[in-house]
Structure 1
Amino acid sequence: MVFLSLLLPWHEGFAEELNNVDLLKEYKKLLAEQQKEFQIQRKIIADQGQELQQMKARLDALSNQAPSNKQAAENPKKPVVTAAASQRSAPPPNQLPDKPVGKDPTEHKGMQRPPEIPRLSETVGGVLTRKGKIAIEPSLQYGYNDNYRVFLDAYTFIPAIAIGLIDIRQIKRHTMMASLAARYGITDRWEFELRMPYVYRSDSQRSRPVDISAATDETFNASGSSIGDLEIATRYQLTSGANGWPILVGNVLTTVPTGKSPFDIEYVNAQGVPGATYPSELPTGVGYFSFQPSITALYPTDPAVFFGNISYNYNTETKQDFGTFDPGDAIGLSFGLGFGINDRTSFSLGYSHRHVFTSAVNGEEIEGSELDIGQFLVGYSFKYSPQTTFNLSLGIGTTDDAQAVNLNFRMPMTFDFISADL
């Protein structure tokens, strides 16, 4: 009994110790599970933080892209610097740069080339030829005019009675001119041009003298074909178009009388119309030198271009058998609007008016020799390839002295003549 009494306390302590060991194992197992769960939660938080950083980076990129696009639209030639590139190029905070950073806002932005619009005349439209390139331009022009003229070779002794020849004529005139031009770009701002035309003209005149009571009309036809007057032109871009100013282009056009002169034409007496004379052939030139300086202004407002031109035409005197003939000088004005439909097609609308002053023979002015030539202009342009463009222009006469219709088709083709790097 004594032995059992001694063994019982030892057995109870051992059982309690065994219970403590099992509890410790249970706690360790629970702690391991909690640590595993904590690692999973920490990984999820890390992944979410990474996604948050990516979303923030995308937001910053979109925020920087918006003002960059606006800046590029306002000035397409100015390079756009992003925030990331600015940070990479910036010097360390504690180090001063050894040269200026950025650009002076007053720095010259460079020469802007004149915009290309359908060519309406030799001084309005087209585009300056680039340096080292040559443009070959074949063209075909057609003109038509139809008007009535009253010829009075008589004298009056009271306002209602005239003695002499009174002749009423209807004149229909067709003119075809094929020409070949070559333009060369001396620099990107300066070009030189030569143009040689070949002219064919045909006149049909229907006449009825009223003083001899003719019962039928008399018809007389005349024609002429030969080379026309040689044209020499040069154009130079004067301004860059920066700071809201228009682009100004100076033009000088010289006409050399290489065609058949009207002063060399012989006139013959008309059959059936006493006292009336008609030309045996038609001239293909004007018969005198001409110089025409002008200024063209272009103001681009994408997608439209406003343009205007003012010119003065100086015609030189010429000595003929009948004396010294001084053709009247002329002053001209044209204006309009060009509009780009897309990157290959454009059209333009405009108006041109030229006033020709009185001509004179031996210092005596010729009454009624003043002319006012007005035309409504429409032009179309299609860029067939990077080197070739189709250009069609139409002029509709708005005054009695202007041609009724003037249709002109041009096809400039640009080639490399001399490398621009030379």
Structure 2
Amino acid sequence: MMFRTIPFAVAVALTATPVLAQETTQPAAPATADAARDALAKKEGEGDQSALLKQTLTAVDKQYSLIRRGQMSLTYDLSYSYVGEDRIVTDIANGNATLFNIENNNSHTVTNTFSADYGVLNNLTANLTLPLISRYADTAARSGMSNSLGDIGVGARWQPFEAHRDTPNLTLISSVRLPTGRSPFKIIAGSGEATGSGVGALTMGLNVNKIVDPVALFGSLNYTVSAPAKDLWQINGSRILTRVQPGGSFGFGMGFAYALSYGISTTVSFQEAISAGSKLRFADGLEAKTHMQTSGILNLGLGYRISPKTTINFSVGIGVTPDSPNMVVGMNLPLSF
């Protein structure tokens, strides 16, 4: 159950402070209906809750919003994620286990992402994302840090139907991920950490949102296919990895944003991605397949409007499945003031 705080005004009669003897004390003017309405009304520049909710949706996922034709917007995102796990490392040769070790792996990742959006049409927005990644990993065998460009993303958002206040807004999305980061399939042991996926990928999906002041409901569906990583020569135990075909990934999300006031909003959302196993091929002809992975994250967010055009958003994500990051902390700041 959610409770909404309603501002109220109370008129208090004040007794005039005594002044010099030659001055005449003036009685306080009685409160009027117009004065009460002015006290209850929102102040200039506060905007409305619908605008705040739209900005909050943009912070949750930019793919829920469009911009007008010819306009451009810039956004900065800062996120930190932590992954801690115990991994069993095995190597099987000739049917016998030749290596069995339990490793404690800890990974800390800081991602600085700069996004640019451009309105191609009033209902079509193109976007470009540029991530800069710093990753520190600590395992039983080694520890190291890498600073590098991540995977650049290029995408578009299209709204096929005109948006109306009383109907849900539908947005179709598409994006291409370019393998510009350090590939995990080409990292030599001890040379640093991967900052990219190593393969290109195409994502298609749709987002739906509806504002029911002071609440905005939203949901999404998407599917991602990845290109194979070919011509590899990575030592993996006693074998050499030569090819990887990542499996497809299906994702969905849902949540709501709630305007507590004209300057504060909160969000609660859940995101899950289900990825099919990847096919591996080794130089000696052996082929193997990894298990399916499921990643689910519960996100809690807070938006604070510092000006009529600028809202800073903070979020905390908690992993709820074994394949998820343990924790994700983020901040979203528009750079177009």
Q: What amino acid is aligned across from residue 129 of structure 1 in structure 2?
A: I
Higher relative contact order (CA 8 A, sep 6+): 2
Structure 1 residue 284 and structure 2 residue 186: aligned?
A: no
Superposed CA offset, 1:187-206 (max 9, x none): 33221111111111111113
Superposed CA offset, 1:280-311 (max 9, x none): 31111111111111100112211111111000
Q: What amino acid is aligned across from residue 135 of structure 1 in structure 2?
A: S
* Counterpart among 109, 120, 124 of residue 175 in structure 1: 109
How far did residue 344 of structure 1 move? 2.5
How far did residue 124 of structure 1 move? 6.0
The 1:150/1:191 distance shift into structure 2, 3 A limit, reads same
How far did residue 242 of structure 1 move? 4.0
Q: What amino acid is aligned across from residue 385 of structure 1 in structure 2?
A: S
How far did residue 255 of structure 1 move? 0.8
Larger Rg: 1
Structure 1 residue 203 and structure 2 residue 137: aligned?
A: yes
Superposed CA offset, 1:336-383 (max 9, x none): 111112233211111111000011135986443321000001122222
Q: How does 1:379-418 map to 2 (within 5 A)?
A: 379-414=301-336
Structure 1 residue 327 and structure 2 residue 246: aligned?
A: yes
Inter-partner Cα distance in structure 1 for 2:205 and 2:59:
12
Structure 1 residue 146 and structure 2 residue 97: aligned?
A: no
2:139 alignment partner, SS class: strand
Q: What amino acid is aligned across from residue 263 of structure 1 in structure 2?
A: F
How far did residue 117 of structure 1 move? 5.0
Q: What amino acid is aligned across from residue 213 of structure 2 in structure 1?
A: D
How far did residue 115 of structure 1 move? 5.4
Query: Which position in structure 2 is the counterpart of 1:136?
Result: 74
Structure 1 residue 222 and structure 2 residue 154: aligned?
A: no
Determine if contact 2:107/2:136 at 8 Å carries over to the other structure.
Answer: yes
How far did residue 155 of structure 1 move? 7.3
Inter-partner Cα distance in structure 1 for 2:166 and 2:287:
46
Q: What amino acid is aligned across from residue 185 of structure 1 in structure 2?
A: G
Determine if contact 1:117/1:125 at 8 Å carries over to the other structure.
Answer: no
Determine if contact 1:117/1:348 at 8 Å carries over to the other structure.
Answer: no
Determine if contact 2:66/2:125 at 8 Å carries over to the other structure.
Answer: yes
1:118 alignment partner, SS class: helix
Determine if contact 2:64/2:209 at 8 Å carries over to the other structure.
Answer: no
Inter-partner Cα distance in structure 2 for 1:401 and 1:306:
27
Inter-partner Cα distance in structure 2 for 1:163 and 1:204:
25
TM-score, normalising length: structure 2: 0.74
Structure 1 residue 186 and structure 2 residue 120: aligned?
A: yes
Structure 1 residue 318 and structure 2 residue 240: aligned?
A: no
Give unmatched runs, 5+ long, in structure 1.
1-111, 207-218, 268-278, 416-422
Query: Which position in structure 2 is the counterpart of 1:101?
Result: none
Inter-partner Cα distance in structure 2 for 1:151 and 1:360:
19
Q: How does 1:155-166 map to 2 (within 5 A)?
A: 164-166=98-100
Q: What amino acid is aligned across from residue 199 of structure 2 in structure 1?
A: Y
Q: What amino acid is aligned across from residue 234 of structure 1 in structure 2?
A: A
Give unmatched runs, 5+ long, in structure 2.
1-49, 233-240
How far did residue 119 of structure 1 move? 4.7
Determine if contact 1:357/1:371 at 8 Å carries over to the other structure.
Answer: yes
Inter-partner Cα distance in structure 2 for 1:290 and 1:408:
24
Q: How does 1:57-68 map to 2 (within 5 A)?
A: none
The structure that is strand-richer by fraction is: 2
Count of residues in Structure 1 that have an aligned counterpart in Structure 2: 277
Determine if contact 1:147/1:172 at 8 Å carries over to the other structure.
Answer: yes
Q: How does 1:302-381 map to 2 (within 5 A)?
A: 302-321=213-232, 322-362=241-281, 366-381=288-303
Q: How does 1:94-105 map to 2 (within 5 A)?
A: none
Inter-partner Cα distance in structure 1 for 2:60 and 2:179:
18
The 1:120/1:379 distance shift into structure 2, 3 A limit, reads farther
Inter-partner Cα distance in structure 2 for 1:386 and 1:243:
21
The structure that is helix-richer by fraction is: 1
